[in-house]
Amino acid sequence: GVAMMLFGAPSAVRARLVASSAASTTKLSAKTGSSVASSRGSALGHASAFNGACGAARNKRTLALISSGLTLEAARRASLLRRYATVEPPVSKSSTPPATTPVTHPSFELVKTETVAEYGTTCHVYEHAKTKAQVLSVIAPQDENKVFGITFRTPPEDSTGLPHILEHSVLCGSRAYPTKEPFVELLKGSLQTFLNAFTYPDRTCYPVASQNAKDLENLARVYLDAVFHPRAIDDPMVLKQEGWHYEVVSSPESGDATEQSSLLELKGVVYNEMKGVYSSPDALMGRAAQQALFPDNAYAVDSGGDPEAIPKLTFEQFRKFHSDYYHPSNSRVFFYGDDDPLKRLNLVDEYLSEFSPNLADTAVARQPLTIATPQSLEVPFPSGDAQARMVSVNWLLVEDPLPPKDELGLAVLDHLLMGTPTSTLRKALTDAGLGESVIGGGLSDELVQPTFSVGLRGVKSKEDCEKVEEVVTETLAKLADAGFEADDVAASLNTIEFQLREFNTGSFPKGLSFMLGAMRNWIYDRDPVEALRFEDPLRELKAEDLNAYFKTMIKTLLLENTHRVSVFMVPDAELEEAGRKAEADRLQAIKEEMTEDDLTKVKADMDELRRLQSQPDAPEALATIPTLDVKADLEPKVRTIAREESSLSDRATLLTRTLPTAGILYADVAVDLTTLDIAEEVPLIPLFARMLTETGVADKYDAVRLQREIGAKTGGVSASILNTMKVEKDAIAQPEDVVYQLVVRAKATKDKVDDLFGILKDVLAAADFANAQQRVVEILKESKARYEAAFRTSGQAFAAARIGAGLTRSGYLAEVTSGVSHYEAVLKVLEEAQQDWPGLLSKLETLRSKLLSTSSVVVNLTGDDEALASADDAVKTFAAETFAPSTGAATSSSSWATDAPLERFASTQSEGFAVPTQVNYVAKGGRFYAPGTPPRGADGVVRRVLSLDYLWNQVRVMGGAYGGSCSINPISGNFAFSSYRDPNLEGTLAVYDKAVGYLRDLELDQSELDKAIIASIGDLDSPMTPDQKGFQSLRHFLDGTTDEIRQQWRDETLATSKADFANFADKLAAMDSKAVVFASKAALDAANANLPEDQQIAVTTLLT
């Protein structure tokens, strides 16, 4: 996938050290996706299968982040790190204890050895004597989640997307592994905890991770062979598949591809992926800003590929680029973990030793600060809403690298300006009332020079866009003159320091965070280890007069820096259709210039490509892919975590567990929401959750002061919704058996635990709703803008939610709090907030009163012995003072007593939502299991094969979509297919309908079945941080998941047989299903013209 890393990318500090579990996602486009989002069977719950564009887990995350109004700080932190969930499997450690003394190897010269005391690791830097390849070998004795990665500098010369297409293509078979796609075979049969590749504007990375040493070696071997000896450089068909190719298709009028009226079309995986990217106004804005700020280096073109330029890429250019850039001399090789360091060097030397040095200059040129007068440019984007303008103000900050202290200082300044809703610059833009939501992401320093970008979405006029510029510069001028308040500086500095020390990468491998952090220096020939340290820079920064320091930084890097570009995004109602027509005219002109022999060649190539794509790999080729052994390498037993349960009061339960947390206490407060009116009050919960931490505390703190208190005394406080179903042993849950909780999460060091619980009490019981009208309007405008952006880029998430809305109460709640229905509710509540604030305020106060009087509160604590001991008194005081003793058991609202709300979405009529986009998001699904019937652990194995064999080949490889998968939820019994950035619509629906036949005809040998079982166990055993373990333990307590249920699921997974595939096919054939599609109006109308009457799609225009 392409890493859109410039605007909205994280700062160096966050990039190398932060990937919180609440925000572990990135702009790295995944290759495929599928997941099981449920508690049943997972080692500690949430079993996210593999890096995915279309899986249910990502769908849920996408909707949750949008509906809850994910803070800009979290979104910015999220912009680098995406992936996975769950828990570490029990694996044996390396028999060789990691040592700080470097190993020696005759093929390598030791450059240096340094200990990174901050994280208990030792870094050995080597140079391969023959090729001059560089190796960073990190010894991390406490981390079983091992990482390997290889990175090449790949600065592009044009916008054909050559680096991106090559990234895809090298994973399509190699010298030692001659299958069509070893990448997919690894997904099918490894215990990988991370497996992907991604293209930056100037480099291409190939990282893998696993907790099993043998598995990591297998993954690394396949990747090394792929990058150095790919089939793609000798087989033009790979470029045609992954990059672009022509196809001759029947015109709607003739129905005959051999007639003169036949049409020429462009297809290709990356071509369609980038059409999806270029459908996003945010992506278009980022591209324009990047190219304007960097007119003289590699960033002036698009490494991901411009759809108009991609067809200019030739096979000769493709081969030459690989020869020039994919050479050991241009590589950076990375290892991390507790495995044998000598084996690392032996492994990589096998591949490097056959090469001679190639010292070609691949350095990324620095961009001089040449803009003498700030510039502006207008960029049109497809939208019928004339008041949906966007504007961003963008700086290239420096020419030369900053010293570590100033890099860290810039990260703290970024937090001061943009890190919270009340940060000075962000608040000024919000308070100006000129737009709907702040955009831009602030500081980005992942590339050769750092940039700063900020702006607004939803601006009504050009004049208001110009006013946005004025707000930005005037706010900065005031800060350069007056500086920041001391409490503000202390809060931001504490926030950054907490993140650095906690090093909470969520489900993202810590080693990969190390790799990406080191790479931001290493790729530019700077010290990779220096990028991982923070103690010395932090000490130097604290010694500064920080107010004067930041004032100077604002003045020199921003106000006096004329290398600035403002980008104005202008809605154009005709642009989508004009683009479609221009492409058709361009292709028609190309076709008319073709001779009969040319057309015959196009058809022959198309037929040959189809033949190769549909031809299965030979058994002997598949046998080359290394894999594990089901009996020898898989742990049959689930891991458990002890949980202690006690009572805080007649209404509050306390859960505790002891885990190593380095003195940090993680606290969750879960409050039952089923006392609310399901139709009137539940849609307000996402707004309510944000108001808790963004409106201040009545008679105590305003919103600014509250954020300072949170920043100075905790590691963060947030509120979200937990929405799942009751888990039953051997049975699918009843549709109405919902677990619906508001969860407020917080963390702090053991010496600040009293402050933490004081803040939790304040936000739950005394958040200042009465004076929050302006902030509520701002929150709702932000939510509206985020939905409208997400509909264009994450349609599969909303489509899957819509399918589930009529099947279970949990699905209904997801739709009305995070789906299309919630977007519609946001529009209505926004009008109410502006025109009838007293009425809305009364509803919110009533909602709070109900929650504080609920009969069910759970306080969940995770920490080491000292952290838990520090909370003994504070948690009791918190519970007693926040949740008064019960005066009578509160009961669920009468609106929860029937399934009436589900009738709103019960129709099996397929739905289509029209949005401005060049690609489609196609989902189809329904109830796979009836309530009360037993699910099977084998279903996860079958789903994997269906996703990674049938759907991968039919939807992605042959169909050209960027992703295609299916998911099954073993708690609700729901099943769904989905596709991502898909050029097809009715064709993809037809593929879904033929899945039953595929499963019935499938001839699966034992080795392929074993691979699927191995990968499915890997899904259940992904690693988790202590806070994630604590939260999943809370979820198990609430939904009823037991170790017995988890063990049964694991046993059934391990016992999967070929008969389970036939059983799955029978259930799939019997499932009543509906389709939900996000696409352009033209694509939906064209599909309806071809679909039979009983499959027509009811079209709703969501955005114009």
Return the DSSP state at 230.
B
Please choose, from the candidates 1051, 1045, 422, 499, the residue with its C-alpha nearest in 3D space to the C-alpha of residue 694.
Answer: 422
Q: Contact at 8 Å (CB) between 682 and 819?
A: no
Per-residue exposure over 376-399, b if at least 16 CB sit within 10 Å of its own CB, e if not: eeebbbbbeeeebbbbbbbbbbbe
Give CA–CA dist 306/308, Å, rounded.
5
- The stretches of 236-340 forming alpha helices (DSSP H) are 236-242, 269-277, 281-293, 315-325
Tell me the C-alpha to C-alpha distance, in Å, between residue 682 and each of 68, 685, 736, 850. 13, 5, 15, 12
Half-sphere exposure of 122 (CA within 13 A, CB side): 14
Give CA–CA dist 507/1023, Å, rounded.
6
Per-residue exposure over 469-503, b if at least 16 CB sit within 10 Å of its own CB, e if not: bebbeebbeebbeebbeeebbbbbbbbbbbbbbbb
Please choose, from the candidates 346, 350, 272, 449, the residue with its C-alpha nearest in 3D space to the C-alpha of residue 921.
Answer: 272
Give residues with Cβ within 8 angstroms of 115, minimum separation 6. 100, 121, 122, 123
Per-residue exposure over 341-368, b if at least 16 CB sit within 10 Å of its own CB, e if not: beebbebbbebbeebeeeeeebebebbe
Which is catalytic among the residues 73, 88, 144, 167? Answer: 167
Element (H, E) at 801: helix 795-804
DSSP-assigned beta bridge partners for residue 230: 174
Give CA–CA dist 317/308, Å, rounded.
17
Which is catalytic among the residues 73, 217, 242, 502? Answer: 242
Tokens of 895: 């609106």
Give CA–CA dist 599/601, Å, rounded.
5
Residue 114 annotated as catalytic = no
Give residues with Cβ within 8 angstroms of 281, minimum separation 6. 381, 383, 390, 569, 789, 792
Query: Cα–chain-centroid distance for residue 460?
Result: 30
Give CA–CA dist 827/784, Å, rounded.
7
Please choose, from the candidates 505, 529, 502, 251, the residue with its C-alpha nearest in 3D space to the C-alpha of residue 404.
Answer: 529
Give CA–CA dist 262/588, Å, rounded.
10
Taking residue 464's Cβ as centre, other Cβ atoms within 10 Å add up to 18
Return the DSSP state at 931.
T
Cα maximum dimension of the chain: 86
DSSP-assigned beta bridge partners for residue 654: 646, 859
Give CA–CA dist 694/714, Å, rounded.
16
Element (H, E) at 588: helix 575-593
Give CA–CA dist 1024/705, Å, rounded.
33
Tokens of 429: 């833009």
Report the alpha-carbon angle 881-887-891, nearest 5.
Answer: 105
The values of phi and psi at residue 341, to 5°, are -65, -30
Give residues with Cβ within 8 angstroms of 679, minimum separation 6. 895, 901
CA dihedral 619, 621, 626, 630 (to 10 degrees): -10
Residue 167 annotated as catalytic = yes
Give CA–CA dist 748/132, Å, rounded.
46
> What type of residue sits at position 148?
F
Q: Which residues are catalytic?
A: 167, 242
